[in-house]
Structures are given as structure tokens and as C-alpha cells.
Chain A
Amino acid sequence: MLRWLPENVSTFGAEIDSLLYLTYYITGAVFILVTVLMVLFLVMFRHREGRRAVYSHGNTTLEIIWTVIPAIILLVLAFMSVSTWTKVKANAPPSDFNLQVTAKQFNWEILYPGPDGKFGTPDDFKVDNEMHVPVNKVVRIILKSKDVIHSFFLPNLRLKQDAVPGMEILVWFEATKTGKYELPCAELCGFGHSGMLGWLYVDTPEDYEKWVKENLSQS
């Protein structure tokens, strides 16, 4: 099943994938165990003439065992998830590369601060549905929405965050491989939701500089 995962190109994506693999293998093993036992019991204890069912109301020891073991596994899974979650969603590393992304029906507006590195100055420039970033660089994005809730989804970077009107939400990523990646909207946002699609271009630093110059001269 996991071979369907899109290629991961972010720094934290591997941690997310390994948690996915871990839970997948644990739950897969439990699924096989339960299914095998069920089929086995159905065959072993099918009705046969002359045999009476065992008159038993249960077994407390067994019940305690199959309460405590899943409880331990589940809590360990939860604790293992905490650090990755905090890293992705709560502890954005510092960076001098900042963007603003504003979602609206049905486009992503990407705002670059321009050479002065500050938003709200005349050298800002805006691109629709096209986000260029340099590879191996922490990208910090302030996510906003103009109308309804959208969701900023980069499948290849294992990143998703809703954009909520009235809120400014900080997201970050660091891409590890150059290329062109899709940026769909993942939250129903109206009749044009399907097809609300941007592109993330992860460039080499040289290509990125070239692209910035072209856009600055246009604006």
C-alpha cells in the first residue's frame, strides 16, 4: 500500500513517513491477527451435531491482557508522534526567507517581500499560483485567506495547513530536491474547489535568483 506514497522532498517528510510506516505495520499486524483468529474460530467452532458450545461468560485475565497491551501500544504511538508534530506545526526554524500566501476562491496569491525583505513596501511582488523557492532553504509562510477556508497542501512535502479567513497561520518547510510540485487546495472551498491548483518550483539558488530578477523587472 505504501508504494503509492508520493516522493518525499522535505526535511521533515521522512519522519512523518516513518510514523506512517510504523502505524501501518502495527495496525496491519493486528488486522491479520484478528482476521486469522476470526476465520480460525469460525472454522473450528462451526456447528456440528452432538457438540455443545462451551458455557463460559468470559475470562477476566484475558480481558485485562487485551486492554493493557493495546493501551500501551497506543500511548507509545502517541508519545512518538509528539516531537514530529511539534517540529512541523509549532517550532518553525528561523529563516530570512519569508512569504505570504493568501488563498481566495480559487487561487493562491503568493506575495514576495522583494529585495528589502519587508512586506508592505513598493518592491513587494505578487504571483498567482506559482511559488518559487530555493532548494535546501527554510521557507516560512504566513498563510491567510480572503473568503472561505482553503487548505494549503504540498503532497510531496508532507505539508498541509488550512488557510482560515481572519487568521494568520505560520507554516514552514525546507525542500531537499529541485523540481516542480503540485499545490492543490485540500479543503472544499466552493464550486471551483476542484482544479484550485498552484505549483511549487524548487529551484537551485542560481535559477531562483534568475526568476526573481525576471519578476522584479516585470512588476
Chain B
Amino acid sequence: MSDVRLAEAAHAVPAHHEEIGFWRTYVFSTDHKMIGRQFYFLGLVMLIIGGFLAMMMRWQLAWPETAVPGLSWVSEPTLYEGIIPPQTYNMLFTMHATIMIFFVIMPIMVGGFGNFLIPLMIGARDMAFPLLNMLSFWLGLVAGVVMLASFFVAGGAAASGWTAYAPLSAKAVFTGVDWGQNLWIISLIILGLSSLMGAINYITTIVNMRAPGMTYFRMPLVIWSLFVTAILLLLALPVLTAALAMLLFDRTLGTSFFLPEGGGKPLLWQHLFWFFGHPEVYILVLPAMGVTSDILSVFSRKPIFGYRAMAFSMISIAFLSWIVWGHHMFISGMNPYLGTAFMMTTMIIAIPSAIKTFNWLGTLWGGSIRFTTPMLFALGFVSAFVIGGLSGIVMASTPVDIFIHDTYYIVAHFHYVVAGIIFAMFAAIYFWFPKMFGRMMNETWGKIHFFLTFIFFNAVFFPMHFLGIAGHMRRIYNPLQYEFLQSLQPINVFITVSAFLLALSQIIFVVNFFYGLFAAKKVGNNPWQANTLDWSVPSPPSHGNFDALPTVFRGPYEYSSPEVTEDFLPQDRRLATDPTTV
């Protein structure tokens, strides 16, 4: 019932809004599309910073304790005439992970594309709570500023890993980092609030504001993925926020939640962190899966294979993600019988992921495949996800994990999954660029960008499996300190050179991006001939999105339908056989 009322109320909103000034259009905007773009630009800027931190780490790993070129001006104790000290190295990997996870993937995929796409794709004029949406962005920005500020306080930024295992993170004396770690905690608490606001908004909007005829099972899979992600965010983030507050109390107020000398338990932190942290992995990867599903269908000109199985596999991944966290803790000192139980659940969660992969292949089968830039990147995501998923099975086996835990095998695995999301992110950027900015990025340079990124991505992360199998520990500052790692140094050099080339390849993207923003040719409503509602409105869509709210007659993937001569059939196009109302 409330569905109908809200949809009617939305119908009553006038299509043309009053003129609003610069500040309310671009800065304190309540328009979901502008807020989406704000998150998106925040993420892209942070991507450059996070990437730069990774390049510094790679320098140290290939040529340990030599001066990083061009950085001799950085003052001590951060660098010593350009040489990275161990303490700074620990800050680099801590902040690289924190920034990439919380300030790149989440803002771009969830904050950016989530905001931009949800109302457009379900046929709504805006989010359910536009003001809350604006607040969500501004809190996110404050969190980002606080996080970056932590580099500049005495003692430097957090250096206890993004997992911040207590007691290392719980007492300043253990790392020598004081306010850096406190600001890290505060920033993530603020960001948690920001994400919570977004999650509530997404869920409310999707439940209540779908256009007439847009049933749950006519929603594009990217909307399904964002819906499931929002539910995970809503349930997972309070756990992290509570754990972070306890950690802050241990650090500043003298409590002992995680400190054994006061009766606390170090493992409690790990349980709380990973109870949030494993759903978090799916918060990151589900939107990437959704984007990939949509793009594969569009450019195969073919319905997605097994739509309902795709939606249900995301739902089951979400459920299962709550009962697998212990696989991060097999060797933590947790009861070994608990480890066995977590191994079972972890094996089970691989099943819905396998279903998704096979259904993507099924979508390609019989298609009429167009190798556009977004399609190439979506295929790149599938390929990376296959490798990341399969290596996950290897480490799910508890005895095998005894050896490969905390080695570069793990680093390879989670970069194939989490850094692999960058392929889906680029797919989404290239695919929705015309809708977001009204112009088309250059396709040829887009494809060159794809091939270079794909080659160097694999050249960086695939050899890390070899390092891991050889026992190379993660988070070590200088591999040459260990005899058994000496012979592996050429691999480290190879990875570093590939990483630099991967970074340089992104210059093509940056140039193409700015060319696309300002100089490329303008496009019409539907340059890709896609079916979803976002392509039925002008590029970029005006304030309020739709002149009249659309009515939806069919699912989102009716490509090559025999009902029409062209190979696509938009969701809101009424055929003679369709009912006049829904």
C-alpha cells in the first residue's frame, strides 16, 4: 500500500524545479545525481593517493632501503633523505588498504554509482531522504579529511595494519603512533555514520519508490546488488563502529576491552572486526558483480542467464557472509574445532560465487558480443574474480591455510578479489560516463587503457602467488632480511616494475576522462541501446529525472527479443500486447 502512495506522491512532484544557485547545485546539493558525482570524484582523488602509497611500498620491496626518487625533500622521520624507514612502511600499507577500501571502492561503487543509479534505474525522482543523502556525503568528506590529516600529526599515521589487531593498535607504546591511530578510528566512525545514512536511504528508496510496474524481479541486477549491499552495510557497520569505540576507549580512557592485563581479550577484537570485515568484502564486491551482470547482458545483446539465480545467489552470499568470518582467524588461537566449522561455511559460500561465474559464461553463450570498453572491463572483472575466487578455495582448507596464512598468497588472493573490483569500477565509469556527463569517452583509448591495465594488473598480482607459496610473509619491510626469501628478489623487482607500468597506464585514463568531460562529442539518451530506465532520460538527466514517471512493462534484459525488430526492448516501452496500466 505504501508503495502506491509514495509513487503517487512522487508523481505529484512537478517535473521542473525552480532555478537554484551555484552552491545548492554543485556543493550543498540534495540531488542524488550530484551527490553521486561528489562521491565519485572523492573516490577518484583518493585512488590517486592510495595508489601512490602502494608505489612507495613497491619501491621499498624491490630495492630495499634505497632512496625513493624525487622524495628526498620529505622530512624526517617520515623519510630519511628519501629512504623509507620500517615505521613509515607500516604506515604505507595500513593507509593504502584503509584508503582503497573505505575511501575509493566504497565511495565510487556504493556512494557514487549507488546514488546516481538507484533513482534513475527504478524510476524515481530522487532518493527517499535527499537531505540525509547530502549529509552522508559531507560526513564522508569529513572522514576523508580526518584520515588524511592523520599523516601530519606527531608520530604519523596509523601503522597497525588496516585490520588494527589489538593489542598492537590498543596502546600507543606498541607502535609509537599516538594520535594517528586515534584519528584513524575517529575517521572510520564518522565514515560509518555516513555509510549508515546512505544504507537507510538506499533501502527505503528501493522498497518504496519503484515506478509502477517495477516489481522486485524486474529490477536490474545492479540495483539488486546495491539493495543487498545496503542491507549488509546497515547490519555490519554498527559492529565496526562499536568495536572502534571500544578500541578508542582502550587507547584514551584506560579501559581494557582488548588488553589482557586488564582482563580483556585480544581475540575479541578480531571476532568483532571480522564479523564486520567479511560482510564488508561482499559490500565491496556485490556492486561490482551487479555492474558486471548488467554490462555483460547489454553488450552480449542477450538476456542475463538465470536472472533469478543471479539475484538469489547475491542474497545467499549476503546471508552466508555472516557466518564465515572465522576463516580469517584459523591460526589466531581460536579453538581449532571452530576453525573446522568455519571451513565448512567458507566452502559453502563459494557455491553462489560459482553460480554467478557460470551464469556470466551462460550469458556470453549465443550472444552477439560487442567489444566496447565497458564490456572489456566487465570481462576483466570476471577473469580477476575467477582467479580470486579459486585461490580462496585453496586457503579455505584449514591445513593449507596453516602454511599460506599471512603470506603473499593471501595478498594475491584479496587483490584479485578487491583490487579486481577496479575492472568493474572502470566498466561502470566508461558505461555510465555518457549518462553522468553527457559526453562519450574515447573508445580507442579506452580499449588501450583496458589492455594495459589487464596485462600489468596480472603481472603485479599473479606472481604474488609464487611468493606466497615460497612462504614470503606479508607486511614485512625488507624481504632480504630472510635467507629463504633471498632467491625471490627478482620476482619482487618484476612486480614493482609492473606496478609502476600499471600506474603509468592510468595516465591514459585520466587524459581520456578530462577529454570526455569537456571536449568529447555529446550523446543522446541511449548511446549503448540499453533497456534500463536510466537510458530513457536525457544525458545528463535534469533535476527530477523524469518528465513523467515511467511505467515499467518488463524485465531489464529483453535483448534480441522476438517481439521487436531491433535487438533491444526498453523496460518502459509499451507494446500493443502490453496492458495499458500495471
Chains A and B belong together in one complex: yes
Q: How far is the CA of A145 from the CA of B148 in the complex (A)?
A: 33
Contact B300 A45 (CB under 8 A): yes
Least CB separation from B407: chain A residue: A186
Select one of B307, B343, B403, B478 contacting A81, CB under 8 A. B343
Contact B309 A194 (CB under 8 A): no
Contact B167 A67 (CB under 8 A): no
CB distance from B229 to the nearest CB of A (A): 23
Within 8 A of B (CB), among A15-42: 15-16, 19-20, 23-24, 26-28, 30-31, 34-35, 37-38, 41-42
The answer to the question of A147 belonging to the interface, with a C-beta cut-off of 8 Å to chain B, is yes
Decide if the interface of chain B is mainly helix, strand, loop or mixed.
helix
Tell which of B339, B358, B483 has the most Cβ of chain A within 10 Å: B358
Contact B364 A41 (CB under 8 A): yes
Within 8 A of B (CB), among A22-71: 23-24, 26-28, 30-31, 34-35, 37-38, 41-42, 45-48, 51-60, 62-63, 66-67, 70-71
Contact A78 B399 (CB under 8 A): no
The answer to the question of B369 belonging to the interface, with a C-beta cut-off of 8 Å to chain A, is yes
Which of B26-34, B44-52, B180-188, B556-564 faces chain A?
B556-564
The answer to the question of B320 belonging to the interface, with a C-beta cut-off of 8 Å to chain A, is no
Contact B300 A193 (CB under 8 A): no
The answer to the question of B541 belonging to the interface, with a C-beta cut-off of 8 Å to chain A, is no
Q: How far is the CA of A31 from the CA of B385 in the complex (A)?
A: 11
The answer to the question of A197 belonging to the interface, with a C-beta cut-off of 8 Å to chain B, is yes
Which of B158-166, B422-430, B525-533 faces chain A?
B158-166
Q: How extensive is the interface on chain A, given as a class?
A: 35 or more
Contact A38 B361 (CB under 8 A): yes
Least CB separation from B160: chain A residue: A188
Contact B466 A1 (CB under 8 A): yes
The answer to the question of B383 belonging to the interface, with a C-beta cut-off of 8 Å to chain A, is yes
CB distance from B89 to the nearest CB of A (A): 8
The answer to the question of A190 belonging to the interface, with a C-beta cut-off of 8 Å to chain B, is yes
The answer to the question of B567 belonging to the interface, with a C-beta cut-off of 8 Å to chain A, is yes
Given contacts A58-B309, A164-B266, contact A186 B361 (CB under 8 A): no
The answer to the question of B238 belonging to the interface, with a C-beta cut-off of 8 Å to chain A, is no
Q: How far is the CA of A5 from the CA of B484 in the complex (A)?
A: 11
The answer to the question of B379 belonging to the interface, with a C-beta cut-off of 8 Å to chain A, is yes
Within 8 A of B (CB), among A160-188: 160-167, 169, 182, 184-188
CB distance from B300 to the nearest CB of A (A): 6
Least CB separation from A46: chain B residue: B369
Contact A193 B476 (CB under 8 A): yes
Contacts of B370 in A (CB 8 A): 47
Contact B560 A53 (CB under 8 A): yes
The answer to the question of A192 belonging to the interface, with a C-beta cut-off of 8 Å to chain B, is yes
Within 8 A of B (CB), among A78-123: 78, 81-82, 84-86, 88-90, 105
Q: How far is the CA of A52 from the CA of B561 in the complex (A)?
A: 10
Contact A187 B368 (CB under 8 A): no
Which of A130-138, A150-158, A201-209, A211-219 faces chain B?
A150-158
Contact B300 A155 (CB under 8 A): no
Within 8 A of A (CB), among B389-406: 390-391, 393-394, 396-400, 402-406
Taking beta carbons and an 8 Å cutoff, which residues of A are in contact with B? Answer: 1-2, 4-6, 15-16, 19-20, 23-24, 26-28, 30-31, 34-35, 37-38, 41-42, 45-48, 51-60, 62-63, 66-67, 70-71, 74-75, 77-78, 81-82, 84-86, 88-90, 105, 147-149, 151, 153, 155, 158-167, 169, 182, 184-195, 197
Q: A38-B382, A52-B301, A62-B362 are in contact. List 6 more A-B contacts (CB 8 A).
A: A41-B367, A89-B398, A190-B168, A191-B175, A194-B89, A194-B481
Give 21 CB contacts A-B under 8 Å. A1-B469, A19-B397, A19-B400, A27-B391, A38-B382, A53-B300, A57-B305, A63-B309, A67-B355, A70-B350, A70-B354, A71-B351, A85-B398, A147-B167, A148-B168, A151-B406, A160-B402, A165-B167, A193-B476, A194-B89, A194-B477
Closest 4 pairs between A and B when the two form their complex, measured CB to CB: A166-B260, A54-B366, A194-B477, A155-B471
